[in-house]
Structure 1
Amino acid sequence: MNYETSFRSDETATPIDGDSAPRRRRALIIGAVVIALAVALAFFMFGRKSEPAGPVAAQGAKAQAPEVTVVTPGRQPVAGTVSATGTMAARVDMPVGVAGEGGEVTRVLVQPGDWVRAGQVLATIERSVQAQQSAALQAQINVARANARLAEQELARAQQLVGRGFISKADVDRKLATRDQANAQVRVAEAQYRESLARTGRLDIRAPAAGLVLTRAVEPGQVVGAGSGALFRLAKGGEMELRAQLSETDLAKVHVGATATVTPVGSAESFHGQVWQVAPVIDPQSRQGIARIALSYDPALRPGGFAQAEIVTGQTDAPVLPESAVLSDPSGNFVYIVDANDKAQRRAVKTGQVSAKGIAIVSGLTGNERVVLSAGAFLNPGQAVKPHRQAAGR
């Protein structure tokens, strides 16, 4: 009884152990399938999303790119210029001093800033002595004329008597010579008198030409003479000039007749002039030469003042940009251009003349680039932007 029970127990245990192995295999297979499905699902979900990440990110970055206004400047005629600085002066500076004997100044008739005409009296000198000398010479003229009349009368009487034989021909000749001598003495006395008047007239200090009185260095009561120096300085016709200092290279570009714009220091007003003389020599110390720019009179142009000049040396074709498009830093001037990939790129440029049209770009641009008009200071090289084109003429 016990044997059978034991046999059945063993017989039952054997099939139970035999069924557990397939179940474990099925569990492993099911687990592997679940894991594979999970991996596939994860690949499907994350792998598919990672594939378009680049284009989507690029589109997002492009959507966030700043908008900039660009222009293609092209090329247009631009006047070539050179810049210079210099000192204002009278174009023809005339010092006026004592032309005669000199003496004590009695009156000064003009002040600096007055306009005078040619020959106008600027100052007078005391002339009492010269006046008495002139009066004496005038009296000598009267004496000489009286002697001339007497000689003429004696000659006439002698010519009447020579026909009657009372006077010889030799006596008549002597009377004729006496008459001629008396007439010559009259002319000498008159010449001496005119010389005296001229000397007296030279006591007046007169303007040699019409112009503007620049300085005055004499006062009433002052004793002046030939060694007193210039008592007045005049600008002939009021014409002024700028004596612009230029380097050898720039001086070679300037020619007589070139137009120029002159701006005095401290003034916002500019004046137009013309180069009338270019220095034939170069200063060996400074290596500079002088271009003299003629200017019409204006109260703002004062001799001795400092001024800047822009001299036109010719004409060339160059891109012209608004001032907002040209930036600068310690490295120099530059602009931002937008390349074919719509990315901002820094471009170094050299600027030229500044005018109402804008700034001429001498080098660095061909004129076909898309140049950022403004907000360039907020861009970085290589930064993506959204360009909006603007016409160059706006």
Structure 2
Amino acid sequence: MRDAPSLRYGPNPASRQPPQRSATPSSASVSAPRRRSGWGRTLGFLLLAGLAGAGWIERDALMSFAGYGDKPEAPAAQAKDKPAEGDPDTVTLDETGRTRAGVREGKAVIRRIVLPVRAPGTVAFDERRVTHLKPRTQGRVLSLAVQPGDRVHAGQVLATLDAAGILDARNGLASANAALGEAVASEQAAALQMKRGQDQLSFGGVAKAEVERRQVDLAKAQAAVKSAQANTDMYRAQYERLAPAEGAAPGTSAIVTPIAGVVTSVGITIGDVIDTARNAITVADPSRMLVLANLYGPDIARVKTGDQATIAAPIPGSERFAGTVGAINAALDPATNTAPARIEIANPGDTLRANMFVSVTIAADIGRSGVTIPAAAVQETEQGPIAFVRTGPDTFVRRALTLGIRRADWVEVEGGVAEGETVATQGSFALKAILLRSLLGSTD
């Protein structure tokens, strides 16, 4: 029927007013909501719309104020959540209200202030675990047993050379041995002549001057023996250094690695004639690697030797690597204006590779302790950060905060909260919303 609307809204169709809400108090207040004038309601809605756009209140609160909320009215026995009368910074919220708002709590505790410093890093070989192998003598490469990427063990022959220097060393040793034998024989003859002269001198068979001359000859012979012995030792050491490995062909020299690791580069080919100044093969031990974390700006002063570090590599399924800052370079990189921090880490399974980019997080010990609260307890306002401190069984007080170091899990509080106090963490936004509604003259 066409007159059904008039039956619903009253006898005057031109003033179709929606039915008044029930006088039963809602779950957000114990008192009936006050009637707002048209202009007052419009201004209040515009203010709430601005606050919602700024992130101060949620959309549900705005729709509820405008009268579009679709939540059913709560019974009168429902718990109350409203600012305490006479104190705009205190919110009263009983256990039922806290459960409905999802309020959780945490403690303000004193802890060591450790700031996570995040920096990009690059993996590199530890130069103390890298060897650049050169030939021991000039020669022509006869064989090459490795290529880049090969695993080698300590003492393994990597290449052999046809080295003429070995023959020179062997011939020099033989000549030195002959000269040593001649010097020893001369010394023995001089010693014999000296003994005979001393015997003859006792009965006048030889002049004293002759005995003194023989003493000089013996001293020269002894000096010649020492010189020949030194020359022999020199040639022997040279030959032993250049001598071929056991079972190798005479006149050949081997390039042997002193460490176990991986061949990273090979600078020779078969047939090359190389000398002792040329890098032939490079071997690196990848069991422990270096991570160079590029520190920038104030982080250079925050990070200290001994700080713990965690390295994340861009490898699917790879675990994080733990290490310790060993040193921080005193000079800045002119290209990046950063100071590299050296972090030595174990590398099981050769997971990390040289020149790989990684993410580094260093736990920088600031050198002090301070009061901290969970990060979820901090709410941002136009006047600055705040937190809600529980002061009674059902009361929370808003406190302005002065913050220090901020982390994802906790923040340092330099003022506003004392050690041992309880703060609202999860659900603290609901407490802020209650205070904001009170500023608009409403608690529904």
Partner residue of 1:240? Answer: 289
| Structure-2 change in CA distance of 1:317 and 1:214 (3 Å) | farther
Which digits, 9 at most, give the CA deviation of each residue in 1:270-307, with x for residues without a partner? Answer: 11111111222334553322222221232222221111
Which runs of no fewer than 5 residues in structure 2 stay unpaired? 1-18, 31-71, 79-96, 245-252, 380-384, 397-402, 436-444
Partner residue of 2:229? Answer: 187
User: 1:151 and 2:186 equivalent?
Assistant: yes
Shift of 1:128: 4.7
| Structure-2 change in CA distance of 1:361 and 1:145 (3 Å) | closer
* 1:303 maps to which of 354, 378, 386: 354
Q: Verify the 8 A CA contact 2:295 2:339 in the aligned structure 1.
A: yes
Shift of 1:185: 5.2
State the TM-score, normalizing by the size of structure 2.
0.55
| Structure-2 change in CA distance of 1:213 and 1:153 (3 Å) | same
Shift of 1:191: 3.1
Shift of 1:360: 2.9
Partner residue of 1:134? Answer: 169
Q: Verify the 8 A CA contact 1:102 1:125 in the aligned structure 2.
A: no
SS at match of 1:262: strand
Partner residue of 2:39? Answer: none
User: 1:319 and 2:373 equivalent?
Assistant: yes
Which whole-Å CA distance do the structure 1 matches of 2:339 and 2:144 have between them?
A: 43
Of stretches 218-227 and 132-141 in structure 1, the one that deviates more from structure 2 is: 218-227
The one-letter code matched in structure 2 to 1:72 is E
Partner residue of 1:370? Answer: 424
Greater percentage in helix: 1
User: 1:276 and 2:326 equivalent?
Assistant: yes
Which digits, 9 at most, give the CA deviation of each residue in 1:119-175, with x for residues without a partner? Answer: x35534324523322332233134224423542453355346545547943663465
User: 1:101 and 2:151 equivalent?
Assistant: no
Which whole-Å CA distance do the structure 1 matches of 2:333 and 2:243 have between them?
A: 44
Shift of 1:310: 1.4
Shift of 1:383: 8.4
Partner residue of 1:74? Answer: 107
Counterparts of 1:33-72 in structure 2 under 5 Å?
53=23, 55=25, 60-62=72-74, 67-72=100-105
Which whole-Å CA distance do the structure 2 matches of 1:159 and 1:284 have between them?
A: 76
Partner residue of 1:255? Answer: 304
Which whole-Å CA distance do the structure 1 matches of 2:170 and 2:305 have between them?
A: 56
The one-letter code matched in structure 2 to 1:271 is F
* 1:197 maps to which of 220, 239, 244: 239
| Structure-2 change in CA distance of 1:178 and 1:273 (3 Å) | closer
Report the number of matched residues: 313
Which runs of no fewer than 5 residues in structure 1 stay unpaired? 1-48, 328-333, 343-348, 385-394
SS at match of 1:228: coil
The one-letter code matched in structure 1 to 2:307 is A
Q: Verify the 8 A CA contact 1:80 1:316 in the aligned structure 2.
A: no
Which whole-Å CA distance do the structure 1 matches of 2:146 and 2:319 have between them?
A: 33
SS at match of 1:84: strand
Shift of 1:312: 1.0
SS at match of 1:70: coil
| Structure-2 change in CA distance of 1:172 and 1:335 (3 Å) | same
Which whole-Å CA distance do the structure 2 matches of 1:130 and 1:302 have between them?
A: 39
* 2:218 maps to which of 164, 172, 176: 176
Which whole-Å CA distance do the structure 2 matches of 1:56 and 1:191 have between them?
A: 105
Shift of 1:216: 2.9
Percent sequence identity over matched residues? 19
Which whole-Å CA distance do the structure 2 matches of 1:189 and 1:90 have between them?
A: 42
Q: Verify the 8 A CA contact 1:248 1:282 in the aligned structure 2.
A: no
Which whole-Å CA distance do the structure 2 matches of 1:138 and 1:341 have between them?
A: 98
SS at match of 2:189: helix
* 2:123 maps to which of 60, 70, 88: 88
Q: Verify the 8 A CA contact 1:108 1:123 in the aligned structure 2.
A: yes
Q: Verify the 8 A CA contact 1:256 1:275 in the aligned structure 2.
A: yes
Q: Verify the 8 A CA contact 2:139 2:164 in the aligned structure 1.
A: no
Partner residue of 2:279? Answer: 229
| Structure-2 change in CA distance of 1:226 and 1:140 (3 Å) | closer
Shift of 1:72: 1.7
Question: What RMSD, in angstroms, separates the aligned Cα atoms of the two structures?
Answer: 4.9
The one-letter code matched in structure 1 to 2:221 is R
The one-letter code matched in structure 2 to 1:194 is R
